Amino acid sequence: MTKTVVIGITGGVGSRIATELLLRGHQVTGIARNLDGAAAREGLTLKEGDATSPQDLAPLLRGQDVVISATSFVGGSDSAALISAAKTASVPRLLVVGGSSNLEVAPGKTVTDTLDFPQTYRAEADASRLLLNGLRKEQDLDWTFFSPPSLFEPDGRTGRFRLGDDALLSDANGKSAISMEDYAIAMVDEIETPQHPRRQFTAAY
């Protein structure tokens, strides 16, 4: 059993990661800037906090075994603030809900580099890459960056998926997808049995 913080507890993926953690008997602290709508559950402690402020965030992380950042990269969090807060709080492990934009579709070419990448997602993708690159330079953090595939929506819990590294995974029909519920399973699996220290990985059907 771990003491785990989920930053972004009110979001779609953050709430599902918390549910999976609680299902397996972990103690969870959920953090959000606004906790309206967050339901109290046994084993879950809710705290308000600003993920863009290291001074505000660090005290909330101190004493925890694992910290999961499940916020948006634009507005919801700040790469420098997250890294600073994690280091200040001496966090043993930091896991980040990444984005598919950082996954490769060919050697040296990421999803962001493709011609049909939507410009509406460009700012979020750039901020995601900034955090990943910042983590790769860190010598004092045990981090993991977990990037979902292209289609990432609530769609039920099956427990059947494949793991990958830096490359975008697709099925035989070219579909790149995983449900938020199955993503949460893979995230908690990584907490319980670490396989990807200090690197990015992905999961898909």
The reported pLDDT for the residue numbered 54 is 93
The reported pLDDT for the residue numbered 77 is 76
The reported pLDDT for the residue numbered 8 is 95
The reported pLDDT for the residue numbered 75 is 77
The reported pLDDT for the residue numbered 31 is 96
Closest CA to 152 of 187, 127, 126: 187
The reported pLDDT for the residue numbered 79 is 86
- Block means of pLDDT (10 residues each) for the chain, 205 residues, are 96 97 97 89 94 94 97 84 95 96 94 88 92 93 97 95 97 95 98 97 98
The reported pLDDT for the residue numbered 85 is 95
Alpha-carbon distance of 180 to 203, in angstroms, equals 11
The reported pLDDT for the residue numbered 40 is 86
